Structure 1
Amino acid sequence: MSIPIQFSTPNQADLASDASNPKRQHYRVLIVDDDDVIREGLVGYLENYHEAAYDLTVEASPSPQDARQKLAESRFDLVITDINMPGEDGFSLIQFIKQHYPDTRTAMITAYKVEDYVRNAKKTGVFNIIAKTAPFNFEELSSVVTNLLEPASAFGIETYMDPQCKLSQVIIKNSEDIMVAFNALQTFLGGTSIANPNDLLTAVIEAITNAVYHVAKLPNGALKYEKGQPIDQLEESEYVYIYYGQDLERIGIAIVDQGGRITADEILYWLDRNISGTGLMDTHGRGVYLIHRLVDRVLINIAPGQRTEIIILDYLNHLYSANKPIYINQL
């Protein structure tokens, strides 16, 4: 499926001012896609428009077979491959890369429904699947590339918002603060032009509740709190932080816990169970799926044992609502 890709000519003066610096990190990226328009468009954008504090060399392959040859000849830091291609699909190529080039990071891209590939993503260990949308979200592509090449940069909602955006904060220190957060976010969303504020609010409260009740654990590994029980005072290390704001294009909300207990594998496991229907009777694990379905974009950043950050983005024009990508960044 071909998605039209359009972008204007870059400002040559701006490009010249960002000339290669010998101290800058240099990465090599390989794009694998049998669609000439998509492949050339992605390469052209990353070569001419991708703004980053590092340098990038981008190559392209029209097939997994050609990609294997390029991988044998040169080192690549990141491979982004289409899923559906003649002869061999992207998952087979990813398995080959993980076996023979374990230090090469990988991501997938597809014009088809991302949810159809969650089970294969879980089996293959693919934590990022980019959705080909019309119009194509190049800003999102830039974020994914940077997050994969330099994972620590994925953290912080300010990374995904306009630099001029002012963020508000709520800190959850006890169970009553969940309602404080609910009221603050309800007031905030009521002042925006977002089409489905109730869906977004439902997703956010689900994420907040999970962060409060499903993160803190006892020494034996059991959950410290039962969902819904009153909590007079959380330990300081159990505080949950909420940041939210709006720029000209999107609503951004981040929910940050200090546990870092969930893993990328677990997220894909619960997504798969709920997408396939096998998890309909589960009493746990539906939160990630609910958030995924209700908002335009959700990014889950995990620093194991330190923090988990759920970043929710909802676009005011809803241009990118049709196909939901999967973005999980784990240090």
Structure 2
Amino acid sequence: MNTILLVDHTEYKHQLQKLLEQHYAVVSVDSAYDAISTLNMQDVDLVISQVELPGDNAFDLYNYLQKHYTYIPAIMITEKDIDTFFDKIFTQGIGNVLKIPVNENEFINLVDKIISRKNIFGLEHYVNNITNTNSIRITSSKQIQPTVDTMLSTIESWGFAIKNKSVINLILNEMIINAVYHSHGYTREKEMRIPVELKSGQYVDVTLCHNASLYAIAITDYQGTLTKEKILQSIHKAIEQEQLILKAVETGEDISDKISETGRGIDLMRKLASEFYFIIQQNKRTEIILLFESDPNAKKSSSLKIIEDIH
């Protein structure tokens, strides 16, 4: 049985421990100091830690893991808005941060995938009781907008009302454009808005599915050039720009030369998707998965989930 080290000094740890013990052996400690002592004494498959801990914080613990136990993955949990400390997430390269209270199914699903590195690709491993599935293969940039149009009309034909449809259109366009252009080495062509045809055997797959309560989208390329660092950099840049805009509203400062489109799609995705995942198999495959609940009052994810297949 896999072992999880749970580092949490709050009462919430009892709820998490009870949930985790249904699937794993759990060692629970209250501080980063005790966590480091445990790591030096026994084998651990995953560390789950509160961001704020007595004495040292989870960032100190993560730094210790990166120096001495690079093979042990970590998930951070927090009550805070992760944007308020994203500079630290970005600097230390932390890929998984969950807002508490966690969605139990989402939490266990993520834990299982990070530990096992199995069943990490494919909507069927993120959506239960799938009713319908539709797939589109893209080999040319000229297919991008028609593909997005088909995706949106298909989702509506399944009976879902697409909230913020124009924004979803923008998100899907940017995600697919990145998969077609950046992933295949056509960054210059994208900047110059030059249409491209992918080489023979190269393509991007877009898959849609739904169940009774949500619809989901997967965008997959088979180059695997997206990295955790690039994702974090894009989100960090988007957060910085949002802060600049808010400040400019108050001060009247002209910030037009400081604002770019970098990270715009990822940032909007974070705000609108119920759940989202970045799945990376370096130099082989990248998949972005978006889940949208049909319930307009459903809680949006403020978490960060990057699953890397490092085997």
In 1, distance between residues paired with 2:154 and 2:33?
51
Report the counterpart of residue 41 of structure 1 in structure 2. Answer: 15
Check if 1:320 corresponds to 2:295: no
Give the structure 2 partner of residue 251 of structure 1. Answer: 215
Query: Separation in 2 of the partners of 1:196 and 1:46?
Result: 36
Tell me by how many angstroms 1:95 deviates: 1.1
Corresponding residue number in structure 1 for 2:114: 148
Change (3 A) 1:185 1:57: same
- Identity over the aligned pairs, expressed in percent? 25
Deviation of the 1:70 alpha carbon: 2.1
Give 1:162's match in structure 2, choosing from 113, 128, 131. 128
Does residue 230 of structure 1 match 2:208?
Answer: no
1:174-222 Cα deviation digits (max 9, x unpaired): 223212212212212323045434333322221011111222227xxx6
Deviations 1:38-96 (A, max 9, x none): 11111111222x4xxxxx21121122232223223221110010102232211111112
Per-residue deviation, 1:305: 1.4
Q: Within the alignment, does 1:201 sit opposite 2:169 as a pair?
A: yes
Size of the aligned set, in residue pairs, is 292
Summarize the Cα distance change of 1:224–1:265 in structure 2 as closer, same or farther, 3 Å threshold. same
Question: Is the CA contact 1:206–1:291 (under 8 Å) kept in the aligned structure 2?
Answer: no
CA deviations on 1:272-324 (whole Å, 9 max, x unpaired) are 12212279533544333232233232211111211211111112234321x51
Q: Which residue of 1 aligns with 2:4?
A: 29
Q: Alignment partner of 2:226: what SS? A: coil
- Residue from 209, 225, 236 that aligns with 1:261: 225
**Aligned amino acid, residue 8 of structure 2:** D
1:70 equivalent in alignment to 2:38: yes
Q: How does 1:17-166 map to 2 (within 5 A)?
A: 26-36=1-11, 38-48=12-22, 50=23, 56-133=24-101, 136-166=102-132
- Measure the CA separation in 1 of the matches of 2:258 and 2:6: 37
> Contact (CA 8 Å) 2:208, 2:215: kept in 1 or not?
yes
Please state whether the residue corresponding to 1:298 is helix, strand or coil.
Answer: strand
- TM-score when normalising by structure 2: 0.85
How much does 1:110 deviate? 0.8
Q: Is the 8 A contact 2:130 2:209 kept in 1?
A: no
Aligned pair partner of 2:139 in 167, 170, 173:
173
Partners of 2:19 and 2:167 lie apart in 1 by 33
Q: Distance in 1 between matches of 2:188 and 2:201?
A: 15
CA distance in 1, matches of 2:46, 2:133: 32
Q: 1:241 matched to which residue of 2?
A: 205
User: Cα RMSD (Å) of the superposition?
Assistant: 2.2
After superposition, the Cα gap between the structure-2 partners of 1:304 and 1:271, relative to the gap in structure 1 and judged at 3 Å, is same
Gap runs ≥5 in structure 2: 245-256
> Which secondary structure does the structure 2 equivalent of 1:177 belong to?
helix
User: What are structure 1's unaligned runs of at least 5 residues?
Assistant: 1-25, 51-55
SS in 1 for 2:2: strand
Q: 2-side partners of 1:305 and 1:100: how far apart? A: 26
Structure 1 contact 212–238 (Cα < 8 Å) conserved: no
1:187 aligns with one of 132, 153, 159? 153
Equivalent residue number for residue 270 of structure 1: 234
Judge which range, 122-131 or 278-287, deviates more: 278-287
Where is the helix percentage greater, Structure 1 or Structure 2? 2
Structure-2 separation of matches of 1:210 and 1:111: 32
Give the distance between the partners of 2:192 and 2:206, measured in 1 at CA: 19
